[in-house]
Structure 1
């Protein structure tokens, strides 16, 4: 099963598979490493290989306690690989799947670590472009932080940029994971550092609520919500923390905080969150029918499973692709969405607006209102007839009385 990667590394065991490639547990001159082998079709793309080599200096220069260090980039025949530090722990998606949502103190501490990582990357001119729980690793051997959280490290730097080459993706395509895409990416604008802030704020919302603010249903509907809808408040969190979330989820990139500012502001919130339990928020429905597309079979619930992790024991990648190429919606499509999120927290048992159950309730109400309207119209009609009959009699009586002697 073992295979040589270049002249210095040996890949021994598969840790996980993702849409961009396979992660192996490997061995190098200095000990255990994680080796991410990109897909064969990517490795055979000479333009991508050239970009890979060009990015080498930037990726190797990213060193920070909360960044998974890239030790080497290997180009050898059909092999195209990133050699990284091996983190002994799990990814944030796996923890979220297990616990559903985190206590606010732990969630904020983890996101503050990731914000520190982004601050270092942005200072070096590197935009991550795919911040999500699958790409956040928790070092189980590190010291415990606020809320019992393990140190968080951000990984997979540069992969989205490498895949998003001009020849592989046209101007009508976008690269990213739908739930975490900033509105400007959906609208076809070039990614700046602010897209990472939007994605990280989405991760924080998900850690607190157990679901993303604009996710669920058909990917096209998710993209439209990012552009047209507003985030719904989460009950039970301090107002200052909520305002921080809202600012970083702003539609306008310039309105969002920088990564260093976000990290500092989050850590200021930690004392007020000590001992606070996870939020009691009812999760929205996990199914949604594609608009104007009759489904041959009932839609299945969206599965929230872990994607590729650079840690031992990681799960296989989910259907939430690390890099999904999708058409950019046109202006008319983006303008067609209803304002106000379709995944708002709601009362237990209440149907989510836009769901099949909600539409059935609306139809029943329309039928009831239609029957009531018909009855009301009949009553009004009878009343009008009686009123007009009474009006005809009265003038006749008056005429008769005036003609009497």
Structure 2
């Protein structure tokens, strides 16, 4: 059902729902638009409304071919909405869920587009703070680029900053999605442009591998890995491209490239990536704290459990609906220093060759169990042999016992 948004816009059809609000296909004075209507509880927050109005100039002034432009901000009664350009296409998360991973050329071309958009935003003093596949749109009406990729645009600029009010987050919360949060955010430092570079490098890793470098398990474990773990190399990735990923995932913000540098360096890699197929690595199918993926349980003769797959990102919004804007902005507790310091070693999931069991997985545990059973059986056999030998060695001395040398115990022929 259509509804009026302010005096200039009409929302006609829901395109998607997320944790921050609902996106509608709308109509304005200049034609079709996308309208992001923020949740009613956000609209009733007077402090947030004030920040919303304060950010109007910065958001309206951000225009770039790789950024979904904000055309208007509407504050009308209980309605708090961003009116944006309508992009005819899908989001990057939807493509990832369909294809699992992308060919390196397409992945690099998409990330280079987003880096160009970030460069323009950072030059204007705007930090996105929530870069992830859900917030990257693919314009299906644009000409095909390298690797058959469509033009990529970054959306939802400024929304994380708007929602991140001191009253809502209190100094013990952070805004974002845990798989893509830079270490300095986890440690409570203010977000700078470098947090977007870290998140974008995480997206590139995910496009290449099919999973994020530090994701999986409880959100607290994910946050800890960002601070303590080193990214594990991907087999088959060109060395120069891998070094770019490593540099942009550096724990120290100053070590990361700027957005404009990253975009230029990535485009330099495109000719060497032409025709390269997607990487052949197995995704970590299950978190260490969750049930196993395919436990054959051979020692109990029970049927194998159905496989479990981990999503690309950990959801912190219970019951969030799956759509192109899901889990956009979430709030979580910052781990204490002692939590960050302990228990992290060995928790990063190492990519492995296709078909190889993941360390700690059900297949790996089942194989280890079979090895233990085999070793146990061998030990029993050895013990039995030793026991028999001992009995044979001593029984000849007992009254009525058999001869000691059983090898010559057969009756002799006269």
CA offsets 1:361-401 (integer angstroms, 9 cap, x no match) = 6678789889999999xxxxxxxxxxxxxxxxxxxxxxxxx
Q: Distance in 2 between matches of 1:375 and 1:259?
A: 65
Q: Distance in 2 between matches of 1:354 and 1:53?
A: 51
Distance 1:340 1:231, change over 3 A: farther
CA offsets 1:103-135 (integer angstroms, 9 cap, x no match) = 111110110000000000000110000001111
For residue 342 of structure 2, what is the aligned residue in structure 1?
336
For residue 158 of structure 2, what is the aligned residue in structure 1?
158
For residue 310 of structure 2, what is the aligned residue in structure 1?
302
What runs of 5+ residues in structure 2 fail to find an aligned partner? Answer: 292-305, 316-320, 383-414
For residue 78 of structure 2, what is the aligned residue in structure 1?
78
Q: SS of the counterpart of 1:152?
A: strand
For residue 201 of structure 1, what is the aligned residue in structure 2?
201
Tell me whether 122-131 or 273-282 shows the greater mean CA deviation: 273-282
Q: For the Cα contact (< 8 Å) 1:94–1:305, is it kept in 2? A: no
* Alignment of structure 1 residues 227-306 onto 2, 5 Å: 227-289=227-289, 301-304=309-312
Distance 1:299 1:227, change over 3 A: farther
* Alignment of structure 1 residues 77-116 onto 2, 5 Å: 77-116=77-116
Task: Note the C-alpha offset of 1:203.
Answer: 0.4
Task: Note the C-alpha offset of 1:338.
Answer: 3.4
How does the TM-score come out when normalised to structure 2? 0.82
Q: Distance in 2 between matches of 1:362 and 1:48?
A: 55
Task: Note the C-alpha offset of 1:85.
Answer: 0.4
Task: Note the C-alpha offset of 1:337.
Answer: 3.2
Q: For the Cα contact (< 8 Å) 2:93–2:324, is it kept in 1? A: no
Q: SS of the counterpart of 1:191?
A: coil
For residue 47 of structure 2, what is the aligned residue in structure 1?
47
Q: For the Cα contact (< 8 Å) 1:160–1:176, is it kept in 2? A: yes
Tell me whether 357-366 or 13-22 shows the greater mean CA deviation: 357-366
Q: Distance in 1 between matches of 2:126 and 2:188?
A: 19
Distance 1:341 1:242, change over 3 A: farther
How does the TM-score come out when normalised to structure 1? 0.83
Task: Note the C-alpha offset of 1:353.
Answer: 3.5
Q: Distance in 1 between matches of 2:222 and 2:199?
A: 14
Q: For the Cα contact (< 8 Å) 1:132–1:199, is it kept in 2? A: yes
1:123 paired to 2:123: yes
Aligned residues: 367
Q: Distance in 2 between matches of 1:280 and 1:335?
A: 34
* Alignment of structure 1 residues 312-351 onto 2, 5 Å: 316-317=322-323, 321-339=327-345, 342-351=348-357
Tell me whether 335-344 or 259-268 shows the greater mean CA deviation: 335-344
Q: Distance in 2 between matches of 1:79 and 1:273?
A: 47
For residue 142 of structure 2, what is the aligned residue in structure 1?
142
Distance 1:249 1:371, change over 3 A: farther
Q: Distance in 2 between matches of 1:197 and 1:350?
A: 32
Task: Note the C-alpha offset of 1:301.
Answer: 3.8
Q: Distance in 2 between matches of 1:186 and 1:18?
A: 23
